[in-house]
Chains A and B, each alone.
Chain A
Amino acid sequence: MAFGTPSPSHKSKKLSQSIAFFVFRLLSFSVVAILLVILGFILVQGISVISWEFLTQMPREGMTEGGILPAIVGTLWLVVGSMLFAFPIGVLSGIYINEYAKDSWLKRFVKLMTNNLAGVPSIVFGLFGMTLFVNQLGFGDSILAGSLTLGLLALPVVIRTTEEALKSIDNSFRVGSLALGATKWQTTSRVVLPMAFPNIITGLILSIGRVSGETAPILFTVAAYFLPKLPNSIFDQVMALPYHLYVISTSGTNIEASRAMAYGTAFVLIVIVLLVNLLANWLRRYYGKKVKMN
């Protein structure tokens, strides 16, 4: 057949392609649309509540008035505490698994368990934290217990992202370093980690976002129903944003009256998570430029 004359199958091919593209486009747009609707709804409802007072004052009148300062501070404590625990252990485990461990059943087992851990429901972490940290180790309901529990929850994510970040570094860099007489640790710390850093840091920050929004793990380990004061030590209980939101929307003294407060809290929580994600993006770009890859 001469080149240039359309084949009989040409029309149907073109049609099926258009249909496929239309469906893909529709699906991906609808995901974005749903997200925008949720965010928009909360932002519109919550923005009117936001004020300097709301952010800096204690809750009053059975949490229907005043601010959410203790919950914000509590969440910050928990995030910092959990990351202090999860970062070093997670990053070092990731380094061990990817750089040091030989390919053995042990390594495979550890990786399998890490993946399983990531799939465990967060309420199970909460119960585990209560059993181990609160009761067995006697920390009581405290920032320490809550941070450790949240840390455990974040751990598989940190390990996985570290591992993936390291895996993405081309082996030629390691080999190049080793060939110059560098030890394995010198190679890891001076060549591999600096290169993997942007991706590791991104993973870490995303896990912060996850941790700051969790309710179940802190339910039995740290969160206070109502505690209008700031913590003095890591053995104090604190309020936390997600739990506070849960409380005032489901079991507050006057749910109807605190509806506006709930939207305000949700607004703050979402803004925190969004800011953390933006920070992650910015850091990745910043370090990505600094440690320019081939």
Chain B
Amino acid sequence: MNSVETKDVHLYYGDFHALKGITMAMRKNQVTAFIGPSGCGKSTYLRCFNRMNDLIDGVKIEGDILIDGVDIYKTNIQVDDLRKHVGMVFQKPNPFPKSIFENVAYGLRVNGTKDKQFIEERVERSLQQAALWDEVKDKLKKSAFELSGGQQQRLCIARALAIEPSVLLMDEPASALDPLSTAKIEELIHQLKENYTIVIVTHNMQQAGRVSDHTAFFYLGELVEYAKTKTIFTNPKDQRTQNYITGRFG
């Protein structure tokens, strides 16, 4: 089953044609990695899935994007509802200047949950899912900024999980972290895919190889090649893909 499906998606920043007709489908409970050089459109494409591109002036999007079968650019779609359904983790850990507990509870609170007990349970569960609970259970009231970078990033993952999305978008989630923290995040991705569909943008080729089931290579706003990760890394069909993953680009 496909969790995310796009048909002939074009995106323009003013006059700049950033995405050129992308048609692809991401399977449910699988990890799909987007790779490609900077400016190839992979992050832009990812941000279409939770309509983060709406925040940028002068962006025009054409084509269909379906999340769990729903066309998310239809007029009756509420963007905040969509974003509850499609969580996102960013490149730089960006916890709010609040306590660890409040960071995870934030998504629930802004979406109108008042039940204290429910919030407490959900916070604990999300922190456990993000493999952070044991490290922070005794200091939930402490500021999130007291955590290390890797812990902060897992906190951001817990924060996204708390509102129970079905799709989790990760935009270079480990690029600002040290190798140990990176390994933890990657391990986490393997566990999370049981319950979530994960789409990850990464500049780290080995990371794409380690965590993803399918890999898509983007170049100059086009989807050049999309196949099983194993195939992409052993026998890519397109010369551009080959040049990119073997480091012989440009």
Pairs A–B under 8 Å by Cβ, sample size 18:
A102-B57, A173-B96, A176-B90, A177-B110, A179-B50, A179-B88, A180-B83, A180-B87, A180-B110, A180-B159, A181-B83, A181-B84, A181-B111, A186-B110, A190-B96, A191-B97, A195-B97, A292-B97
Q: Would you give the shortest CB distance from B150 to chain A, in whole angstroms?
A: 14
Asked whether A88 is an interface residue with its Cβ less than 8 Å from the other chain, the reply is no
Q: Does A61 contact B (CB under 8 A)?
A: no
Q: Give the distance in Å from the alpha carbon of A179 to the alpha carbon of B97 in the complex.
A: 16
Mark interface residues in A169-181 (1 if CB within 8 Å of B CB, else 0): 0101101111111
Could you say which residues of chain B place their CB within 8 Å of the CB of A294?
Answer: 145
Q: What's the tally of chain B residues with a CB closer than 8 Å to chain A?
A: 25
Q: How far in angstroms is the closest Cβ of chain A from B68?
A: 16
Cross-interface CB contact of B52 among A102, A170, A179, A195, cutoff 8 Å: A179
Cα A186 to Cα B88 in complex, Å, equals 18
* A21, B83: Cα distance in complex, Å: 55
**A103 B107 Cβ-Cβ under 8 A:** no
Q: Which residues of B contact A181 (CB under 8 A)?
A: 80-81, 83-84, 107, 110-111, 163
Contact at B97–A293, with CB atoms within 8 Å? yes
Contacts of B110 in A (CB 8 A): 177, 180-183, 186, 190
From A170, A177, A291, A292, give the contact of B106 (CB < 8 A): A177
Cβ of B160 and Cβ of A180 under 8 Å apart? Answer: yes
- Give chain B interface residues in 44-65, CB to chain A under 8 Å: 50, 52, 55, 57
- Answer whether A177 and B96 are a contact pair too, CB < 8 Å, given A182-B80, A190-B106, A292-B145: yes
Contact check, B97 vs A175: say whether CB atoms are below 8 A apart.
no
Which residues of chain B from 78 to 98 have any CB-CB distance to chain A below 8 Å in the complex?
A: 80-81, 83-84, 87-88, 90, 92, 94, 96-97
Answer whether residue A194 sits at the interface, using C-beta atoms and an 8 A cutoff.
yes
B161 to A: closest C-beta gap in Å: 11
Beyond A176-B90, A176-B96, 11 additional contacts (C-beta under 8 Å) are A170-B94, A172-B94, A175-B52, A176-B156, A176-B159, A179-B50, A179-B88, A182-B80, A182-B110, A293-B97, A293-B145
Chain B nearest CB, measured from A86 CB (Å): 27
Report the minimal beta-carbon distance from B62 to chain A, rounded to whole angstroms.
Answer: 22
User: What's the Cα separation between A292 and B95 when bound, in Å?
Assistant: 11
**In the complex with contacts A180-B160, A181-B80, A186-B110, A292-B55 CB distance below 8 A:** no
Whole-angstrom distance from the CB of B156 to the nearest CB of chain A? 7
Nearest chain B CB to A38 CB, angstrom units:
40
CB-based nearest B residue for A174: B55
Contacts known (A194-B97, A292-B97); A178 close to B106, Cβ less than 8 A: no
* Cβ contacts under 8 Å, B182 to chain A: none
Chain A CB within 8 A of B242 CB: no
CB-based contact A178/B55 at 8 Å:
yes
A265-280 to B contact mask, C-beta < 8 Å, 1/0: 0000000000000000
Contacts of B55 in A (CB 8 A): 175, 178
Q: Would you call B2 an interface residue if the criterion is a C-beta within 8 Å of the partner chain's C-beta atoms?
A: no
Q: How far is the CA of A293 from the CA of B143 in the complex (A)?
A: 10
Interface positions, chain A 86-106, Cβ under 8 Å from B, are 102-103
A131: shortest Cβ distance to chain B, in Å? Answer: 40
